[in-house]
Structure 1
Amino acid sequence: MNHAVDRDVPAIEFSSVSCRFVSPDGKATVALRNFSMSVARGEFVAIVGPTGCGKSTTLSMITGLLKPTTGEVRVMGAPVDGIDPRIGFVFQADAVFPWRSVLDNVAAGPLYRGRSKSAAHDEANAWLRRVGLEKFGRHYPHQLSGGMRKRVALAQTFINKPEILLMDEPFSALDMQTRTLMQDELLQLWSANAGSVVFVTHDLEEAIALADRVFVLSARPATLKKVYDIDLPRPRVTSEVRYDPRFIEISRDIWHDLREEVRIA
């Protein structure tokens, strides 16, 4: 696979994409309809919309797990063709190996990519220090809190230096305090990594606090209703930015659009 692409080419591009599912009994369901979206390199984009509108479907098409029925999805200028090693994914559920220690979980990516065990462990220890888990390398996932497991998941993903990071409701199971800490952790890791992020969430405030742009999807069959530029300065502290008058104004505007779609859904 040739990964040499123009820096001006979008990291991700949806062009008039529709996606239809056919159930075993032959019933067709349209998840996305005529959906277009472009994500620049280094940009943080959030996608919000009513439950079941197809937000996660967009991520599946970026990874190649789903193919569009019509239209095209491109990654780094090339049509999506299978799993791309430049893409990292953080799920709502912890995607860790319960039988492996924290250190071995974080080292799994470099080992899979051919690094020696000692080199992979050195890298993993460095990332555990970055996420504040340097004393927990020998622990197992079941011995950690939800927030700590999420830190493991972030280290596990960022150690592979993804050029694109896809996140599907990654912090929704956490309490509010831990969730806020994890949002700040993510912003710090992202700013140092300079990759592109597509972040799916039901939490409108989370989307505004994190993103450069927020894409609002309509009720199913989802299409793009509106795109909002989030003109809040960076770096951001998510616990503080929520009190910015501009944040409150943006939140009010987006909720006005989103509320209509939630009622329809």
Structure 2
Amino acid sequence: MMSPAIELSNVSRKFISPKGKVTLALRDFSLQVREGEFCAIVGPTGCGKSTTLGMITGLNPPSSGSVKVFGKPVSGVDPKIGFVFQADAVFPWKSVLDNVACGPIFRGLDPSAARDKAADWVRRVGLAGFEHHYPHQLSGGMRKRVALAQTFINEPAILLMDEPFSALDVQTRAMMQEELLGLWSERKASVVFVTHDIDEAITLADRVVVLTKGPGSVKSVYDIPLPRPRATEARYTPEFIDLSRQIWADLKAEVSI
């Protein structure tokens, strides 16, 4: 039987403040993500969603339990993992092309070849003609396209996304969701996508995991049977609306406790 791409088993994570106060972010948390699966995580503020991503990267080891990537214990930062943050992780002094080329150059690719590869990815995310613009000359949606190109150019086997579209307006957010699904469908990385937006989770994911209030653990899991390719219009179907109501009921129960 093939090992999951990501496996967290009975994980707990404690944080200790400078004054010695202990905060338990996750408790007895278990999650498996299959190869090529798009998994979204939703939950109340402070339930450990971002902490979960930190453990998968190896930057935030668990206090107890185990975290494995492709069947091997996480022991450091894995180059097979890509990360898209809520804030734009772009270098303001570099052009769009040079920002996208940074990853391959850092990994040892010849700079000329890296820029050729970056030019292709800039085109693929719809920024042809903006190669020599700087981040301050771009809209929020365009900067997010740069971030996606920066990540996908490294061909990650696992993609971790921490509320990457939350700062965008509704129309741009919908466009970026479709852009992400298009790129993901080509590469089929295993995705863990953290969001507060239930409709966004259903639009994007194969499976939505709902966490309890902190310390977080799994409250419920919803398989999303909506067919792909899945456009924004899918959210107006009765199946989508029913799923949204069910997930909201779970979340509301946690927030109301």
Tell me the TM-score range normalised by the shorter chain. Answer: over 0.9
Q: How big is each residue's C-alpha offset from its partner over 1:93-137, in whole Å with a ceiling of 9 and x where there is no partner? A: 000000000000000011111111111111001001101101000
Aligned to 1:43: 37
Aligned to 1:3: none
What is the count of residue pairs matched by the alignment? 257
Amino acid at match of 2:212: S
TM-fit CA distance, 1:208: 0.5
- Structure 2 residue 245 is matched with structure 1 residue 252: yes
TM-fit CA distance, 1:246: 0.4
- Structure 2 residue 79 is matched with structure 1 residue 85: yes
- Structure 2 residue 152 is matched with structure 1 residue 158: yes
Amino acid at match of 2:125: V
Aligned to 1:57: 51
Aligned to 1:16: 10
Using the alignment, how far apart are the partners of 1:92 and 1:247 within structure 2? Answer: 25
Which consecutive aligned stretches of 4+ in structure 1 deviate over 3 angstroms post-superposition?
Answer: none
Amino acid at match of 2:256: R
Q: How big is each residue's C-alpha offset from its partner over 1:7-41, in whole Å with a ceiling of 9 and x where there is no partner? A: x2111001000111111111111000000000000
Q: How big is each residue's C-alpha offset from its partner over 1:130-164, in whole Å with a ceiling of 9 and x where there is no partner? A: 01101000000000000000000000000000000
Using the alignment, how far apart are the partners of 1:45 and 1:32 within structure 2? Answer: 18
Unaligned runs of 5+ in 1: 1-5
**Cα contact 1:41–1:196 (8 A) shared by 2:** yes
Using the alignment, how far apart are the partners of 1:34 and 1:118 within structure 2? Answer: 48
Once the two structures are aligned, what percentage of the paired residues are identical? 69
Q: Where do residues 1-265 of structure 1 align in structure 2 (5 Å cutoff)? A: 8-238=2-232, 240-264=233-257
TM-score when scaled to structure 2?
0.99
Unaligned runs of 5+ in 2: none
RMSD over aligned Cα atoms: 0.8
TM-fit CA distance, 1:43: 0.1
